[in-house]
Structure 1
Amino acid sequence: MVSIATWNINSVRLRMPIVERFLKEEAVDVLCLQEIKCQEHQFPYQAFIDAGYEHIAVHGQKGYHGVATVSRVPIRDFSRHDWQDNGEARHVGVELTSPQHQGMIVENVYVPAGGDEPDRVINPKFGQKLDFLERMTRWADAIDRPTMIVGDFNIAPLECDVWNHKQLLKVVSHTPLEVETLQRFKDAHGWTDIGREHIRDPDRYYSWWSYRSKDRKANDRGRRLDHMWASPDLAAQSTRHWLREDARDWEKPSDHIPLITEFDL
């Protein structure tokens, strides 16, 4: 049995108290964090070690982006891809090295948000997001190991993944072009969307709510931007998937919540 969690933490140093709370309450084996917003030497290693997570892989960057994977079980650095093609720290992959985990690969990714305008001509950031996904697609086409990819994909692909499909069709994160591009990535490896295997369409399933929403619970204008996908055989071994939506209301919260999947390996 192994449990994997993913969480866009929006500054790991600022939110270490709620990370510690989450780890204490859920005791997951592996936690993948995105948007850590620190360089590798600034990462709070000791706090994680004190919490029982002594195996750590960090790909950091000054002030922005950055990803980290912390684990209670042995891991080794497996890969670091520059899918942004500009040196930004948006990916780290690890291999679980204990025999009982069968060499499972866990890829942790932070896909660019893509700016505000869904047009690469007037908004280069949108083009960069699409190109990032195309590079991921070429990579996925060659995967030959049981692999899980998790993180903030910054795309809500299904109509029921957003609070209002029609209103958000022209909003970056839910445009048809982004959804089509993400689908090509999904098809390249035949990924299984674990979240939607356990929380079926059209059931409500959000992982992000804007800080700008004054009353998050009343408005509930959420989107499912965070994902946990796996190779088909690995996904078939997933026994449980759940969210910690209450974490959105903890003190000084991230605008994202943690997702957790349990596997019977």
Structure 2
Amino acid sequence: MKIVSWNINSVRFRIAIVEQFLKEAAPDILCLQETKVVDDDFPFETFRALGYEHIVLHGQRMHHGVAILSKVPIVADDRFDWQANSEARHVGVRLENGVRLENVYIPAGGDVPDRDANPKFGQKLDFLERMTRWSETLSGPTILVGDFNIAPLEADVWSHKQLLDVVSHTPVEVEALARLQAAGNWVDLGRRFHPAPARLFTWWSYRAKDWATSDRGRRLDHMWATGAAANAAIAHHVFEPCRSWLKPSDHIPILTEFAF
């Protein structure tokens, strides 16, 4: 089974490259973040035409939004409010084999890494704390995917020294993510198959005129797993060429293959 995670930054605006990617990579399940569309306006027809009959949404107009599109049956779903303000940032399902699949869009956290000066940064840390408490309650094999908006390792950013005070790579965020990982005994599948310092960037800012030449990437997108799900992982891939496609997202898709 191939599972993909991709912050698409507006699924309707970028539906052409989504369709292109699905035809080329042919994943069984696609998890999208930042879909930016209410559920009724989601482009169902494109996905169903490609065989993704099982569609679970948590949408929001113009902001946030997550979706799971699957060729295989889904037998349950949930939506957690880890932001505590009803923003559409999570959707989860259970597959027929019993594995939970949770798709999350963690807040970016604004520009200033200070809870008092920047409430958005505090919201991000609180979001991670709620996820940590949830992780402590997990009992079965689970896969957690999404845009975590944190690049935890030195090798996960283009310059560790220059980004230490930049939101997404600050010590307080890295420590919060480490607590989340420890709470659920999560395995970071990207780094299992591509140990640091291997290149594994998934995001490049739109601000660069030529993203490939400047190459100031960060690994903000992750795929973690617990228990039998982690043991079933057999490969992990990132798709850098997608960053150069027409009307690209600033994120690229990541894919993990599982032997189930």
**Bin for the TM-score computed over the shorter chain:** over 0.9
Q: How does 1:190-229 map to 2 (within 5 A)?
A: 190-229=185-224
- 1:256, CA displacement in angstroms? 0.2
- 1:219, CA displacement in angstroms? 1.2
Q: For residues 30 and 200 of structure 2, what CA distance do their matches in structure 1 show?
A: 20
Q: Deviations over 1:106-163 (max 9, x none)?
A: 1000000000000010100000000000000000000001100000000000000000
Q: Give secondary structure in 1 for the equivalent of 2:213.
A: helix
- 1:72, CA displacement in angstroms? 0.5
- 1:236, CA displacement in angstroms? 1.6
- 1:233, CA displacement in angstroms? 2.8
Q: For residues 35 and 69 of structure 2, what CA distance do their matches in structure 1 show?
A: 12
Equivalent in the alignment of 2:176: 181
- 1:252, CA displacement in angstroms? 0.2
Q: For residues 213 and 244 of structure 2, what CA distance do their matches in structure 1 show?
A: 13
Instruction: Choose from 94, 106, 109 the match for 1:111.
Output: 106
Equivalent in the alignment of 1:13: 12
| TM-score, normalised via structure 1 length | 0.97
Contact 2:94/2:101, CA 8 A, preserved across alignment: yes
Equivalent in the alignment of 2:230: 235
Q: For residues 200 and 158 of structure 2, what CA distance do their matches in structure 1 show?
A: 10
Please identify, of 77-86 and 165-174, the stretch whose mean Cα deviation from structure 2 is larger: 77-86
Q: Give secondary structure in 1 for the equivalent of 2:51.
A: coil
The one-letter code sitting in structure 2 at the alignment partner of 1:66 is: G
Contact 1:9/1:256, CA 8 A, preserved across alignment: yes
Report the identity percentage. Answer: 60
Q: For residues 198 and 111 of structure 2, what CA distance do their matches in structure 1 show?
A: 28
| TM-score, normalised via structure 2 length | 0.99
Contact 1:57/1:77, CA 8 A, preserved across alignment: no
Equivalent in the alignment of 1:92: 91
Please identify, of 12-21 and 229-238, the stretch whose mean Cα deviation from structure 2 is larger: 229-238
Q: For residues 210 and 20 of structure 2, what CA distance do their matches in structure 1 show?
A: 24
Q: For residues 218 and 176 of structure 2, what CA distance do their matches in structure 1 show?
A: 18
Equivalent in the alignment of 1:42: 41
- 1:263, CA displacement in angstroms? 0.5
Q: Deviations over 1:169-212 (max 9, x none)?
A: 00000000000000000000110000000011111110000001
Q: For residues 233 and 146 of structure 1, what CA distance do their matches in structure 2 show?
A: 6
Gaps of 5+ in 1: none
Equivalent in the alignment of 2:150: 155
Equivalent in the alignment of 1:82: 81
Q: For residues 253 and 140 of structure 2, what CA distance do their matches in structure 1 show?
A: 25
Equivalent in the alignment of 1:255: 250
- 1:216, CA displacement in angstroms? 1.1
- 1:213, CA displacement in angstroms? 0.8
In the alignment, does 2:125 pair up with 1:130? yes
- 1:76, CA displacement in angstroms? 3.1
Q: Give secondary structure in 1 for the equivalent of 2:145.
A: strand
Q: How many residues align?
A: 260
